[in-house]
Structure formats: structure tokens, C-alpha cells
Amino acid sequence: MSQFDCFCSLQGTPCRVKILNMKRAICYLRASVSELAQPHSLDVQSAIIHSFAERNGYLIERTFSEYGSGCNDARKEWAAAIDYAQSNNVFVICWKVDRFSRSLSSFAKSSSLLPLLRFVELGDMEPSPIVLAVLVACGQAEADNARVRVRESMRILKEQQGRVWGNPRITETASPASLKVRKHNARVFNTRISNLVDDLKNAGYSLKECVSRLNDLGVTTRRGRAWTYHLLYRVVNYN
């Protein structure tokens, strides 16, 4: 038996299945937002696609998945899936058209791949360009409408209820508090370095020699850099 053969059982009768006769494929999975917001989306898509592949004789050899908007033409995994399919002449299986793309411009970039595209929702056949164009256009329109709804909802809530998002007083509260913390941390650090320099000076080192000594000891600046004379001078004279 060849290494490409495998056995399966059909109603108790062993039969040989030629893996070489199966159609090579990859699958592409996409969810719009984060894993935290859609924890099972990719798993569900993967299960649907693998069931489709098994029924129709596809052998999935690689999976490309990501989180991001289908309107984004610069999706990394989407572009990688297209490149892989074209380079290796394998099918791309996706659950629904809107998972593959919600942008007519991105659809145009993948038009040469049309004979290798398979969508579970459309069945095991080469998709019609007209059908795909309509579905992608509908997906793009739906995404555009969603953005309009969110923007208008926020505007209405702000006008009617005074609702605001984020911290409207951030320049009055958060920024001064952050500056206070930074100044405190700087004082603590500078005090520690000044004490080290005082100890070194008491041992007979000049300020210039203290620079080399601190670097030899592995003591760095607050940003993790090596000391220079001017940096050390500024720190020990910091008020």
C-alpha cells in the first residue's frame, strides 16, 4: 500500500481512499473583532469548512485565520492565503463570501483566483463572478451602514442625553496626574544616582570617572542607556 493510501470503513467494509485523488485546499477564517468579543467564531467557521471539505473530497493542508474588517484590503493573512493558493495551485475554502471580503476593491485583487475559490454557502462549484460581485457589494454596503448607525447613535445620545465617550476632562485630570507621577519617578531615580555618585566621589572619583564606573557596574539611565558626562551632570544637578 502506498504512503498516500489510507483505509476507511464504510458500513463495516474496508475501502481504500486515494489521498492523491483528493483536491488540495487551504481554508481562510475571519472574524470582525477580537477573540475576546468573538471567542468561538473562528472555531465554528473551521468546523463548517472541514465538514464541507470532507463531504466534497478536499484535503485541507493549511489554515489562514485573523481578526479584522472585511473592508480592509491590507489584511495580512488574507493576502497570504491568496499568495499561497496562487503559488501552489490549491483551492481556497471559506464559509461565506462576506468572511472572505466586504470590499469590491479587495475582491478585484482576487478575481484571478476565481476558479480556485469555494464558498460553503454557495456549494462545491466555481462561483459566478456576478453572484460574487453582488454579495461582496452587499457586504460592503452593510459595513458602511453599520458605521453610519454607530456614528448617528453616538451623535443622538450626545445631543439628547449629554452622553460622552472617554474622559472629557482628561487634560484637566489624567494629564496632570500622569505628569506628577513622572516627576516623582524622576526624583526617586535621580536621588538614587546622586547618592551613588556621592559615594564614588568620597572614594576619590571625579564626575568624569564616575561615568565610566557606573557603566562598568551596569547602572544605566532611566531609558536603559549608557551614561555620558552630560547626562550624569544633568541628573546630579536636577532640582
C-alpha 149/C-alpha 165 separation (Å) is 16
Q: How confident is the model at residue 144 (pLDDT cuts 50, 70, 90)?
A: low
Model pTM score: 0.53
Per-residue model confidence as pLDDT tens digits over 189-224: 888 888 888 888 888 889 989 999 888 888 888 888
- Of 159 and 26, which is predicted with more confidence? 26
Of 49-53, 124-128, 133-137, the one with minimum mean pLDDT is: 133-137
Q: What percent of the chain has pLDDT over 70?
A: 78
Of 125-134, 203-212, 225-234, the one with minimum mean pLDDT is: 125-134
Of 32-41, 67-76, 124-133, the one with minimum mean pLDDT is: 32-41
- Of 165 and 15, which is predicted with more confidence? 165
**Arch. (CATH architecture) of 5-140:** 3-Layer(aba) Sandwich (3.40)
- Of 200 and 91, which is predicted with more confidence? 91
- Of 25 and 192, which is predicted with more confidence? 25
Q: Is 77:65 a contact under the CB 8 Å cutoff? A: yes
* Predicted local confidence at residue 167, as pLDDT: 63
* Predicted local confidence at residue 3, as pLDDT: 37
- Of 131 and 47, which is predicted with more confidence? 47
- Of 238 and 203, which is predicted with more confidence? 203
What's the DSSP call for residue 18?
Answer: E
CA distances from 81 to 30, 32, 77, 87, 115 (A): 12, 17, 6, 10, 15
- Given a cut of 60, whether residue 10 has pLDDT beyond it is no
Segment holding 235, helix H or strand E: helix 229-236
User: Do the bridges between strand 91-94 and strand 58-67 make them parallel or antiparallel, or are there none, so unpaired?
Assistant: unpaired
The predicted model gives 133-158 an average pLDDT of 71
Segment holding 134, helix H or strand E: helix 129-161
* Predicted local confidence at residue 84, as pLDDT: 95
Q: Is 238:185 a contact under the CB 8 Å cutoff? A: no
* Predicted local confidence at residue 101, as pLDDT: 85
* Predicted local confidence at residue 138, as pLDDT: 78
Q: Is 26:94 a contact under the CB 8 Å cutoff? A: no
Radius of gyration of the chain (CA): 31
C-alpha 223/C-alpha 235 separation (Å) is 13
C-alpha 211/C-alpha 233 separation (Å) is 9
What is the rounded average pLDDT for all residues in the chain? Answer: 81
Q: Which of 92, 95, 93 is nearest to 48 (CA)?
A: 95
